[in-house]
């Protein structure tokens, strides 16, 4: 199996070297460019062109990738029922699904099934495609989850995530009211030395973590927050809000309310599409149990 991409450079394209286009514009890693160049699998207007030559608006670019270009070209995720897959966005390269609460993002063992990635593998199987994980959500967190449909776009999207050009916004109900309408939590997160399942502000081997929040609504003794992450540490939202004495409703690790449902939802995702870098925004509707909690709390 190979993956072939064909592009016509747009009229506003600024003339530059083919190398600059591949590295700086399209964010392809150097090892892929080396393979394309070595095997002459990068064509300009139908012919091979050394990467130091210039390309201009209207030129036709063809890239062909082979499995040997990638460390994990065929992840072999076991397909397991596409019935629960709710597609929020799909094109030739990417898929955004509305992950259900209680479903793990991906399997931890080769033959494991029942995770969101297994369900997506079943959805993609009739198309001859496989899922490649790009971001993760905790098992009890629902909402927008980004998945690649080929290995070519994985390093591109990984770079966009790393450089914070992909924006993820969460909804969450937390205990208590806030004195201010919005705020920033800048506190490193490490492991909890007393519970290996948990994380802790200033715990073991702490890593920088920054969370932005805005209060949307407050009812009785609970607040609905819009939350954005600058970093993506394990349990970051849960730990940061708990450190303010506003744990998430239903959090089995950081709250003691006995609720059955962690009220944390990946609500919106601002994406840049690979190669074109067209911006789009995807929204996973507020879950019904969020609305039920609000009605019961009023």
Q: What is the pLDDT of residues 136-193, one digit of tens each?
A: 998 999 999 999 999 999 999 999 999 999 999 999 999 999 999 999 999 999 999 9
Share of the chain above pLDDT 90, in %: 85
Lowest model confidence (mean pLDDT) among 56-65, 74-83, 237-246 = 74-83
- pLDDT confidence bin for 112, thresholds 50/70/90: confident
Catalytic pick among 80, 138, 192, 289: 138
| pLDDT for position 72 | 86
Residues 181 and 152 in one domain: no
Task: Tell me the CA end-to-end span of the chain in Å, nearest whole number.
Answer: 56
pTM for this entry: 0.91
| pLDDT for position 107 | 86
Give how far the C-alpha of residue 125 lies from the chain's centroid of Cα atoms, to the nearest Å: 21
CATH of the domain at 79: 3.30.2350.10
| Mean pLDDT confidence for 68-88 | 90
- Among this protein's residues, is 289 annotated catalytic? no
Is the residue at 280 inside a domain?
no
| Domain boundary, last residue among 69, 100, 121 | 69
8 lies in which domain range? Answer: 3-69
| Domain boundary, last residue among 39, 69, 99 | 69
Is the residue at 30 inside a domain?
yes
Is the residue at 275 inside a domain?
no
Is the residue at 131 inside a domain?
yes
Is the residue at 225 inside a domain?
yes
Tell me the residue length of the chain: 298
Is the residue at 32 inside a domain?
yes
Is the residue at 287 inside a domain?
no
| Domain boundary, last residue among 112, 145, 162 | 162
Is the residue at 286 inside a domain?
no
| pLDDT for position 285 | 95
| pLDDT for position 74 | 87
Picking from 103, 129, 125, the residue whose alpha carbon sits closest to that of residue 114 is: 103
| pLDDT for position 6 | 97
Contact 262, 293 (CB under 8 A): no
Alpha carbon dihedral 124, 126, 129, 130, in 10-degree steps, equals 50
| pLDDT for position 84 | 84
Residues 123 and 176 in one domain: no
Structural domains in the chain (count): 3
């Amino acid at each position: 199996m190979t993956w072939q991409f064909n592009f016509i450079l747009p009229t506003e394209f600024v003339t530059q070297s083919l190398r600059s286009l591949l590295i700086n514009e399209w964010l392809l890693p150097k090892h892929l460019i080396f393979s394309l160049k070595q095997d002459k699998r990068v064509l300009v207007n139908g012919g091979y062109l050394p990467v130091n030559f210039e390309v201009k608006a209207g030129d036709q670019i063809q890239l062909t990738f082979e499995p040997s270009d990638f460390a994990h070209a065929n992840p072999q995720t076991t397909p397991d029922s596409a019935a629960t897959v709710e597609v929020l966005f799909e094109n030739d390269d990417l898929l955004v699904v509305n992950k259900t609460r209680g479903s793990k993002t991906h399997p931890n063992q080769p033959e494991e099934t029942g995770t969101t990635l297994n369900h997506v593998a079943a959805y993609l199987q009739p198309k001859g495609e496989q899922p490649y994980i790009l971001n993760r959500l905790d098992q009890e967190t629902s909402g927008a989850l980004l998945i690649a449909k080929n290995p070519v776009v994985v390093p591109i999207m990984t770079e966009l995530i790393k450089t914070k050009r992909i924006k993820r916004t969460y909804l969450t109900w937390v205990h208590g009211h806030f004195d201010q309408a919005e705020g920033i939590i800048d506190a490193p997160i490490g492991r909890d030395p007393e519970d290996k399942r948990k994380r802790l502000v200033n715990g073991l081997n702490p890593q920088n973590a920054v969370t932005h929040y805005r209060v949307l609504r407050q009812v009785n003794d609970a607040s609905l927050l819009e939350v954005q992450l600058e970093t993506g540490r394990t349990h970051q939202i849960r730990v940061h809000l708990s450190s303010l004495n506003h744990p998430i409703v239903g959090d089995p690790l950081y709250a003691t309310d006995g609720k059955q449902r962690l009220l944390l939802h990946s609500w919106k995702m601002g994406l840049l599409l690979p190669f074109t870098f067209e911006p789009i925004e995807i929204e996973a509707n507020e879950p019904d149990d969020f609305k039920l909690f609000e009605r019961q709390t009023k």
